Structure 1
Amino acid sequence: MAIANTLIVITLALKNTPLAVIAPWSHERLNILHRVAGFATVIFVIIHACSYTAVFGLQGRLSRLTELDEIFGIIAGFSFLCVAFAGAVVRNWWYELFYYLHIVFWMLGIVMVGLHQPEPSKKILFLTCTAAGIWTLDRFIRLIRLAINSANNTVTLTPLPHGGTRLLFAKPPYGAALANHSFLWIPSIRALEAHPFTIVATNPFEFVVAAHDGFTRALHNYAVHNPGASLRASVEGPYGKFPNPRDHDKVILIAGGSGASFTVGVALSMLEQNSGNEKSIMFIWMIKHQTYLAWFSEHLEILKSDPRVSIHIYVTRPSTSEILSKNTPSTSDSFSRSTSTTSDPEKAPVARLIIPLPMPTTDDEKKGFSSPIESPVSPLDAADPIDDFSIVYRRPDITTLIKAGIEGVPSNQRVLVMSCGPQTLTTTVRNATADCVQPDGPGVELHCEQFRW
């Protein structure tokens, strides 16, 4: 059972999985099934090892465990245990360490299994070679793509406020699409690593990366010390599948922090492919500080200029100076006049909304997608933010916003709610969207994008 299960585990782990052809999921959506199948395999290995050890003990033949083929089996068993430990514990603590442990012990384990049962008649060797061959083929395909896309390709790095880095590539890979993700390889930063990031724009080919640790922190530090640097780079992909926004009459996009890479890409894609129609886009973005607006300033200007898009930006951790500097009588008067004419949150006025409230203890955009760097880390932190957007200085009520966005949509139309952010945000969006599904209401579909690497 353990050996047969390795074929399932490997198939679910492939980036270029054949399941993508027959199922509406990309590799990242299949990852949870890969993990379940992997843990099941380890359970089978434990049962197998304990059963044979007990049998040898009852027969008085424990010395059998010192034979070479049994030693290979013991090494294989402990290798798979290390793979499981890395996936269950190390993965949430230090992803890059988990990745190396995962790959190294998987390769060691599958080789040891083949040596443990090398007789062709038992078919074990055939299954292990098949599993190893499938995995190697996927790696070879990805390597070829990296090599092809590296030809005459460079990336220009620009530091952004609060740990952000903008990456502009000289050329995109074949099939690049907005809001999909690709694996980036920049040998000057990390020669043996390729990391996935969401495509923000395709002309030019652009990514916005938030600095956390490891590769992203090294990338941002390099950009800060070498702004505008051009480095040799390559891209592998694209990957990702999600519902087609063009099939819906209204799309509600909700993002926390750098999750806007996905929602900005979706919005821009809709504007490019649906010019002239009446589809409606509600764009909601939660950020910790106002200077995060510089991350997507040009793209927000494009969205703001289109009458089909309503933009709602919430600053959850504004500094006192931000609130006081913007809380002027003229702004307050403008806000009062605007709110007297409309109560629809989807038709928010362009004037700045200043609502100084007590700071919340938790934020929906706090974890996962926002950079943890709170102190200024680049000269651009002092740059003036965009002044033409509706900004609310508090934590938003996501449930109310979603319900307000869906209310009033005719029952013969369809609404798509798309979210990208930490688990707290996606859970709130899921629950709120589920509450909006009514028998006599519009068709409602939900898609939550959350990286699991």
Structure 2
Amino acid sequence: MVKTLPSKPQRKAWQHDFPVYLWWAIASLIAFLTFINIARTLVQRHRRRSAISRFNEASEEKNDFASSPPPTSSLAQFPIKVAAVANKTFFWRDVAFKFFFRIPLGELVFTWTYTFVLLLFALLYVPLDVPGSTQRDLALLYSNRCGLLVFSQLPLIVGLASKNNTISVLTGISYEKLNFFHRSASRASLIICWLHVFGRSVAIPLGKDNQIGETHMILGVVAFVSFNLIVILGYKGFLRAFAYEAFLISHIVLALLFLIGASLHWAEFADYVYPAMGLWFLDRFVRLVRVIFFNRFWNIVSKGSSGSRRAVVESVHGGALKLTLQRPMNWNAGQHAYLVCPTVSALPFEAHPFTIASIPSSDKKASTSELVFIVRVHDGFTHRLSELAKSHGGRFEIPCYIDGPYGTVAALDSFHSSVLVAGGSGVTFTLPLAQQLVRQAQLGVSAVRILTFVWIIQSVDHLAWISGELETLRSSCPPSLVLDLKIFVTRSPDVSAEQQLSDDVSIHEEEEVSSEENSPNGSIDEKNEKRKLSASSSLVSDVIKGRPDLEEVLNAVLVDAKGGPVSVNVCGPTSLSVATKRALRAGTGNNVTLSVENFGW
């Protein structure tokens, strides 16, 4: 039987199968992660109920539940040991790319695998070993398939970048963590895009017979150049790290140019572009609805309703600001929100993400809850906000619109022990987690019996950020929960922490007199200072000079847990997460779940 060259319709139909196969692979992966998420949730619920039941029984028998190990079987230990090996091998080990970023080895392997699969689908065998086939035919088929694969990945790339996406809901992976895979998918697709351009250049050499002057080819070049700029500027070592606001604007503009150019360049496959555009606009629409609802824009002409669109800004000792908002919304501990302050921002709709450093009101009858944001003063938006606070005597109100909450934070109430580690302003993430665990312990709905709160700061001045909250946390902690506060001061002078706090209190007392005489809000400043001083002075015993030995801290918790499940949540600079992972790798504990929130974009 003589082989013949497939007809053009046959080749097109055959080529269209490859994106379908690729999407089946992606859908299978999402389904697997969804199954893992559901199974993990069910296990945690069962574990929490069992632990609470055992605690109640131990309380009746007057036993020390916190020191008693939970019952385990060899069968139950097997998946725990497998997970421990996987964590220590892949997820607690980072790979550093100089001048760019560092990522867990597991994520890097996943990225390589995705890129390999994409290349495999792009370069699979094409049956062109037939009479009459030429090198041009081969180049056209390969290049067209590469272009089609790039089109097919656009909905995935845009979907992974959305703050409101279905994948995050199904898998339980927060959108900001999925954003890494958004960038990885974009870079892998760019490689395939280059293969498409190269293949077309081979098939249709540049010259008088090429189509470069035609409109659809010009639009293809626009899309190709835009795609390259998107990826290049998205690397952390470039614009994204040094001027995020400029990067964000350029990212949106270039993405629209790429999507529009691609859809007009190859209109036949624009069906992949339209869902991508739809996902982008849907995300913006959902965010707009959130802003309108939580800021009560329909009451804009009502008297006394302006408070739902304003925020109180206060200067806090230690180079920070405290923003307080009252909003009719609910959120989970550890989530964040975007704040839009048009009178302060360089652009009217400029949104800045900050972690909510409080938990919702426990009063079910309350119509609003207080959202607190502790903002470290840097350049740009926070600097302008700080200057305005100084010009208003340290406290003022501004129009402020909130968009959120966002982020997926795993529940901690099913673990035996919980360790919260924060560096600097990362405490805005760990503080509400601790507050939530204390509240759940009060209600008797948490399995956590040991809570270790580690905060690493450069100066005792930073205690003013949350000193009152820490004091309340300790005083409200029930007997069923052991709370261990450890505050490490890394840049204190060559004196004891107690002496530094004592000197700090004396300085504040002098400032209090000055503010009482000169500040237009003297009475308010006086109350704030007195509250801060009394709290700071009572935290002296929790302050430790120097850097923590995280391995020692974590091993002590693991020993006390005696094989029980332990959660470790870290928020701070990259160096802190690296040190925590190193300490966990060196430790002997297996039943540990690590969650990392790093600074940066």
TM-score range, shorter chain: 0.7 to 0.9
Matched, 1:184 2:339: yes
Which residue of structure 2 aligns with residue 236 of structure 1? 403
Higher mean Cα deviation, 251-260 or 398-407?
A: 398-407
Q: 1:321 to 1:172 in 2, by over 3 A?
A: farther
The match for 2:450 is 280
Q: Tell me the C-alpha RMSD between the 2 structures.
A: 2.6
Equivalent residues of 2:316, 2:464 under 8 A apart:
yes
2:567 — aligned with what?
416
Shift of 1:213: 2.6
CA contact (8 A) 2:460 2:500 kept: no
Matches within 5 A, 1:44-443: 44-57=192-205, 60-61=207-208, 63-88=210-235, 89-118=238-267, 122=268, 124-151=269-296, 152-173=308-329, 175-190=330-345, 191-201=348-358, 202-203=360-361, 204-226=370-392, 227-275=394-442, 279-305=449-475, 306=477, 308-319=482-493, 325-326=499-500, 386-389=536-539, 390-411=542-563, 413-438=564-589, 443=591
Deviation at 1:154, TM superposition (A): 1.4
Distance 1:62 1:213, change over 3 A: farther
Q: What CA distance in whole angstroms lies between the structure 2 residues aligned with 1:50 and 1:445?
A: 46
Which residue of the partner structure matches residue 6 of structure 1?
154
1:158 aligns to what SS in structure 2? strand
Task: Measure, in 2, the Cα distance between the counterparts of 1:68 and 1:435.
Answer: 60
Deviation at residue 164 of structure 1 after TM alignment: 1.0
How many residues are aligned here?
A: 395
Q: Which runs of 5+ in 2 are unaligned?
A: 1-148, 297-307, 362-369, 504-524
- Provide the C-alpha distance between the structure 2 equivalents of 1:434 and 1:246, rounded to a whole number of angstroms: 24
Tell me how far 1:55 sits from its aligned partner: 2.6
* Offset at residue 40 of structure 1 (A): 1.4
Q: Secondary structure at the match of 1:275?
A: helix
What secondary structure is seen at the aligned counterpart in 1 of 2:172? Answer: coil
8 A Cα contact 1:437 1:444, kept in partner: no
Deviation per residue, 1:349-394 (Å, 9 max, x gap): xxxxxxxxxxxxxxxxxxxxxxxxxxxxx99999857112221121
More helix by share: 2
Percent identity of the aligned residues? 28
Q: Deviations over 1:247-285 (max 9, x none)?
A: 012111110000000110100011112216572211110
State the TM-score, normalizing by the size of structure 2: 0.62
Q: 8 Å contact 2:551–2:586 — kept in the other structure?
A: no
Say which one has the larger Rg: 2
- How far residue 433 of structure 1 moved from its aligned partner, in angstroms, is 2.1
Matched, 1:34 2:182: yes
SS in 1 for 2:547: coil
Q: Is the 8 A contact 2:501 2:537 kept in 1?
A: no
8 Å CA contact 1:162–1:381 kept in 2: the answer is no
The answer to whether the 8 Å contact 2:310/2:401 transfers is: yes
Specify the alignment match of 1:345 in structure 2.
Answer: none
- Taking the aligned partners of 1:404 and 1:10, their CA distance within structure 2 comes to 44
1:260 and 1:420 in contact (8 A); partners too: yes
Q: Residue 37 of structure 2 corresponds to which residue in structure 1? A: none
Match of residue 349 from structure 1: none
| Separation (CA, whole Å) in 2 of partners of 1:327 and 1:212 | 25
